């Protein structure tokens, strides 16, 4: 049996670190292709650009369209080729991170990920989730190495909307649920090898951290303050979840997320919000005890994450709609087959309804 563990070459987290980043960045050359979006540019990008220019960097700034699609990745790759850049920076959320990794791979250059949110575990991994131009899951794209540097400014994340932090908590909460299923199945991870003890242990530590500090961190972000609790949740959402999902493996929850993206009604929801429902759906498929189900359910419910079809904007979804999403979740290029038992689209469609029914029953008690 071959086992594998992956991680970024360096991970740096701290308050205000982006505007002190030259010591971490200078080894990658001074001609970066910098991928960001208009909102992020206004929040921090303009100050960072000024800082970098003052340190001698010749920055090529490209505004990201918001979708990590092949079309957008190819567009920005061409700009990087034309400008003869030496490194790719991705400043923004999960789709910006995934696009930056793909662009760097196209250009055969190092990549630095600068997440502005703790809303997904994308920054640390050696894969990208590629979507169609209209926002449906298309495929996973894999690379030979993880990012060269992940640079996380905790003060910046403290200023982001609470909804995005809770979405990251949901994404991170899936890490151990899925990794344990992969372990039971003896299946391969996202590195296409078997789990190491370290990968599995990180997934467990990620979950433990979330249950201990999630509510404290949410309260901190509401008031835009950086505390040790928030720092721990940022690390759990970003580093622990990133290492845990990649070296521990994905299974049902993320496959269910991918299936839900095929329903246009869900496109206004974040990645983590759909994953939250995916966690509960996976637990229904596993047939876990009520006590185990409620451990995850009550945390997600208390954080205002989706536990009903209505919250997914699917209150009026037909059985055919749900079966269509379930078929996509069970597609051959996804990870449903890494559960330790066979799953059919009909099973998933029933589990979608079961989660909704349980929430209604719980709230009516």
Sign of CA dihedral 23, 28, 30, 36: negative
120-169 residue pLDDT tens: 888 999 999 999 999 889 999 999 999 999 999 999 999 999 999 999 99
Rounded to whole angstroms, how far apart are CA atoms 328 and 264? 13
pLDDT of residue 176: 98
203-214 residue pLDDT tens: 999 999 999 999
* Cβ-based burial of 310 (10 A; exposed 0-12, middle 13-18, buried ≥19): middle
* Structural domains of the chain in order of their starting residue, each with its CATH number: 11-158 (3.40.50.1970), 162-364 (1.20.1090.10)
Residues of the chain with pLDDT under 50: none
pLDDT of residue 301: 98
Kindly list the catalytic residues. Answer: 171, 254, 257, 271
Half-sphere exposure of 145 (CA within 13 A, CB side): 13
Q: Given the structure tokens 């495929």, which residue do they identify?
A: 139
Of 17, 161, 145, the residue nearest 91 (C-alpha): 17
DSSP state string for 206-272: HHHHHHHHHHHHHHHHHTT---HHHHHHHHIIIIIHHHHHHHH---HHHHHHHHHTTSGGGTTS-HH
Task: Classify each residue of 29-59 as buried b or exposed e, where b means 16 or more C-beta atoms within 10 Å of its C-beta.
Answer: ebebbbbbbeebbebbbeebbeebeeeebeb
Q: Given the structure tokens 């496959």, which residue do they identify?
A: 255
């Amino acid at each position: 049996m071959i086992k594998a563990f992956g991680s970024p070459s360096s991970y740096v987290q701290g308050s205000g670190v982006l505007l002190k980043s030259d010591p971490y960045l200078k080894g990658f050359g001074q001609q970066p292709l910098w991928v960001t979006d208009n909102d992020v540019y206004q929040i921090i990008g303009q100050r960072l650009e000024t800082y970098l220019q003052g340190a001698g960097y010749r920055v090529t700034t490209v505004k990201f369209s918001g979708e990590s699609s092949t079309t957008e990745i190819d567009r920005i790759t061409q700009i990087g080729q034309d400008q003869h850049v030496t490194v790719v920076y991705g400043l923004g959320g999960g789709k910006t991170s995934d696009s930056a990794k793909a662009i760097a791979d196209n250009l055969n250059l190092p990549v630095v990920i600068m997440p502005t949110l703790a809303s997904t575990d994308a920054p640390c991994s050696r894969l990208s989730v590629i979507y169609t131009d209209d926002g449906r899951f298309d495929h996973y794209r894999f690379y030979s190495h993880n990012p060269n540097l992940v640079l996380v400014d905790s003060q910046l994340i403290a200023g982001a909307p609470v909804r995005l932090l809770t979405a990251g908590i949901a994404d991170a909460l899936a890490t151990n649920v899925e990794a344990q299923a992969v372990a039971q199945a003896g299946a391969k991870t996202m590195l296409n090898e078997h789990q190491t003890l370290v990968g599995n242990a990180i997934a467990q530590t990620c979950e433990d951290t979330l249950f201990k500090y999630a509510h404290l961190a949410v309260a901190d972000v509401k008031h835009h303050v950086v505390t040790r609790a928030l720092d721990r949740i940022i690390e759990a959402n970003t580093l622990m979840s990133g290492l845990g999902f990649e070296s521990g493996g994905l299974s049902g929850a993320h496959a269910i997320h991918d299936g839900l993206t095929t329903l246009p009604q869900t496109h206004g929801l974040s990645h983590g919000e759909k994953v939250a429902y995916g966690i509960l759906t996976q637990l229904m498929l596993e047939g876990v005890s009520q006590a185990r189900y409620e451990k995850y359910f009550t945390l997600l419910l208390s954080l205002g994450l989706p536990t009903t079809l209505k919250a997914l904007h699917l209150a009026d979804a037909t059985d055919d709609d749900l079966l269509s999403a379930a078929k996509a979740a069970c597609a051959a290029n996804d990870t449903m087959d890494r559960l330790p038992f066979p799953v059919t689209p009909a099973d998933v469609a029933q589990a979608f309804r079961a989660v909704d029914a349980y929430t209604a029953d719980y709230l009516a008690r």
